[in-house]
A and B are shown apart, each in its own frame.
Chain A
Amino acid sequence: MNKTQRLGEIIAEHQTREGPLMPILHDVQAEFGCVDADSEIYIAEALNLSRADVHGVVSFYHDFHQTADPRPEVQICRAESCKARGVEALMEDAQAAAGERVRLSTVYCLGLCSVGPNARIGDDLHARLDADRLKKLIETA
């Protein structure tokens, strides 16, 4: 199936729902790793929106990206409770372990605030991280 066909499927799946744009963007992001310009144009046409409308939404939310990044991603919580539990002291080593191979990104709170520092890889959550455990997580991501 080519990309346009897949886009068409995703849109068809959600089009009749109230407020279909966010569910569509989530699925497109999950499928292609981004919502690129072509997808924006295609979605806009299907929902009878302008491309600017769709682009405005894509660019507003942290979860949607305009270009795909094929690297594995490790999200590290750097909100207050995880700061209080020492996440900042781990960041330099984490960055070194990640190098260019892994994308480290910041997330503000995973809801595990009494057992931080915490990280998320895909849908897996990891708690009680110290320098060694975080390094291992990053190296095996």
Chain B
Amino acid sequence: MTLIRISDDALARACGADALAAAFEKKGCEVHRVSSWGMQWLEPLVEIDGKGFGPATPADVDAILDGSSDLAIGMIEDHPFIASQQRLTFARAGKTRPTSLEDYEATGGWSGLKRARNIGPERIIEEVLHSGLRGRGGAGFPAGIKWRTVAGAAGPQKYIVANADEGDSATFADRMVMEGDPYALIEGMAIAGEAVGADQGYVYLRSEYPDAIAKMNRALALCADIIAPFKCEVRVGAGAYVCGEETSLLNSLEGKRGEVRAKPPLPALEGLFGKPTVVNNILTLAAVPHILGEGGANDYESLGMGRSKGTMPIQLAGNIKHGGLYETAFGITLGELVNDIGGGTQSGRPVKAVQVGGPLGAYLHPDQFDIKFDYEEYTASEALIGHGGITVFDDTADMGGMARFAMEFCAAESCGKCTPCRIGSVRGVEIIDRMRAGRQRDTLEQQPQMHNTPKQDRSAEDEITLLADLCDVMKSSSLCALGGFTPYPVLSAMRHWPEDFSDNPQAVETALERVGQ
């Protein structure tokens, strides 16, 4: 009987994988539902004896089976998109059935945890420190240092919290880990528990990921005995982007409004229910089993550049021809990612802008394509890697509109705790609307009793200066990165595409200079 492998990842399913699998079964084939290789433009991808066919529909089944299909891509492992990657966290992608314990063990699963239990907390932390692993949730904080802090904190009750709130547009690597290799995350959490002395874990999983919720619950039920005495459960978010911020997340887990807490105290010392808590991103935790394997820390440390060690699962999305998951060592340039690997835009038009790092990340211009994927290089360019999501836009994009959206998103998702973010974002939308709609003072400003408002309509320069100024205030005085980083997409869009903001681009440049941006 022919063995067919088709992914049961949410993206493959949304592209019709279930109907395709059923069609193969009807032909008498045995179908294994496996994780996704991450070549998303080819989903649903059919694999027979290592050869791939995609994107396939039930109408293609006969041709695929009799070898006449023109969807053939050859051996999947040899496809340039796969062959050029360095997959550590995603080593099992495409190869195993996600919740099969048999498949997990057969591919080296649990060996990191076994070794961790043998070498004990101090050496675990030493190895994580040595690997150079930094938090993949956005801030890039060294995981080993966080773990050491929690390990050193006093108290019988500590927690491991996996941050699966993945709210950034263009990110789906956490989802792919949870849906494709859930035991890798669980193993990483159990190792973290071993290292810091925590026996309870929570996976805070966004409600927008129904498939991941189901898979994680299933996996946790199946492996409970293996990870014991460590216990772990899934908690579902409720549609708030800001709950990805770690202190907001902890409040939400406690059953409170997801408002950001001021730091200190650090969650490492006073986290969930006031107890010492490790909060790590899914990718951070899922990288750990490999690092704790024999020689894993050395391997990891030997990859990457500067202080960005190891590999990053980069997510290629938006208007891109070859979108998907691309795990590689740090140091790759943006141009390679977008043009060589991604194949340029899906529409075939020129690339206009690339947003890296989700809704709080800067828009980069093709002129900046030689920037290397590295935390420090991005910071130096007023940009951020964030969670490694890349959105490509073609030349039809309206960057003034995208800047407005950045402010609109911030207004919709602000936790409301601090003024620059809660009110500033609303004002930001209004200013951009006025700039684009002919610069009238708003009706409130025109009321006779509003003595302090300007008596004439603002000039283009006035509005732009106001916006640049507002960005400056939000950047410097917001409590967390939602308000604090929303100016990055706005300012970068103004800097690179001033013509999308005003019919007088020169005024935009002057205004940016005036506020030192």
Contacts of A26 in B (CB 8 A): 207, 236, 238
B184 on the A face (CB < 8 A): no
Asked whether A46 is an interface residue with its Cβ less than 8 Å from the other chain, the reply is: no
Query: Once the chains bind, are B14 and A126 in contact (CB under 8 Å)?
Result: yes
At the interface, yes or no: B355 with Cβ under 8 Å from chain A?
A: yes
A115 to B45, CA, bound (A): 14
Residue of A nearest to B320 (CB): A114
Q: Given that A18-B273, A114-B323, A120-B208 are known contacts, is A85 also in contact with B318, CB under 8 Å in the complex? A: yes
- Give the residues from 20 to 39 in chain A that come closer than 8 angstroms, CB to CB, to chain B: 20-23, 25-26
The answer to whether residues A80 and B209 also contact, given A62-B238, A108-B169 and a CB cut-off of 8 A, is no
- A-binding residues in B (CB < 8 A): 10-11, 13-15, 40-41, 43, 166-172, 175, 200, 207-211, 235-241, 252-259, 273, 315-320, 323-324, 346, 355, 358-359, 389, 391-394, 397, 402, 405, 409, 412-413
- The minimal Cβ–Cβ distance linking B234 to chain A, given in whole angstroms, is 10
10 cross-chain pairs, A with B, having the tightest CB-CB distances, nearest first: A114-B323, A21-B255, A62-B239, A113-B317, A61-B238, A79-B169, A84-B318, A125-B14, A127-B14, A63-B238
Q: Does A112 contact B (CB under 8 A)?
A: yes
The secondary structure that dominates the B interface is mixed
Contacts of A19 in B (CB 8 A): 235, 253-255, 273
Select which of B167, B239, B317, B397 is within 8 A of A61 by beta carbon: B239
* A125-B170 CB under 8 A given contacts A64-B238, A114-B316: no
Query: Are A115 and B238 touching (Cβ within 8 A)?
Result: no
A-B contact count (CB 8 A): 144
Q: Which residue of B has the minimal Cβ distance to A125?
A: B14
Q: Does A109 interact with chain B (Cβ within 8 Å)?
A: yes
Q: A57-B255, A63-B207 are in contact. Are A22 and B167 (CB under 8 A)?
A: no
Query: Do B208 and A127 touch (CB < 8 A)?
Result: no
Q: Is B391 a contact partner of A115 (Cβ separation < 8 A)?
A: no
Residues of the A chain whose Cβ atoms lie less than 8 Å from the Cβ of B317: 81, 113-114
Q: How far is the CB of A130 from chain B (nearest CB, A)?
A: 13
Q: Is the CB of B235 within 8 A of A79?
A: no
A107 on interface, CB distance cutoff 8 Å: yes
Contact between A80 and B10, CB atoms less than 8 A apart:
no
A97 contacts partner chain B, Cβ-Cβ < 8 Å = no
CB distance from B277 to the nearest CB of A (A): 12
What chain B residues lie within 8 Å of A123 (beta carbons)? 210-211
Q: Given A60-B258, A111-B175, A115-B43, output 14 extra A-B contacts at Cβ < 8 Å.
A: A19-B254, A22-B252, A60-B240, A61-B240, A63-B239, A84-B391, A84-B397, A109-B208, A111-B11, A112-B10, A112-B11, A112-B172, A113-B391, A125-B10
Known contacts A61-B240, A114-B324, A128 near B169 by CB under 8 Å: no
Tell me if A3 counts as interface (CB < 8 A to partner B): no
**A56 at the B interface (CB under 8 A):** yes
The distance in angstroms between the C-alpha atoms of A62 and B316, with both chains bound, is: 28
Contacts of B389 in A (CB 8 A): 81, 113
Q: Which residues of B contact A112 (CB under 8 A)?
A: 10-11, 14, 172
A111 contacts B236, CB within 8 Å? Answer: no
Residue in chain B with minimal CB distance to A127: B14
CB of B15 within 8 A of CB of A57, answer no
A81 touches B169 (CB 8 A): yes
Residues of A within 8 A of B315 (CB): 113-114
Whole-angstrom distance between the Cβ of B267 and the nearest chain A Cβ = 15
Min distance, Cβ B254 to any Cβ of chain A, angstroms: 5
Closest to A17 in B: B233
Residues of A within 8 A of B394 (CB): 84
Closest B-chain residue to A79, C-beta based? Answer: B169
Question: In whole angstroms, how far apart are the Cα atoms of A114 and B43 in the complex?
Answer: 11
Residues of B within 8 A of A25 (CB): 238
Residues of B within 8 A of A127 (CB): 11, 14-15
Q: Which B residues touch A118, using CB under 8 A?
A: 14
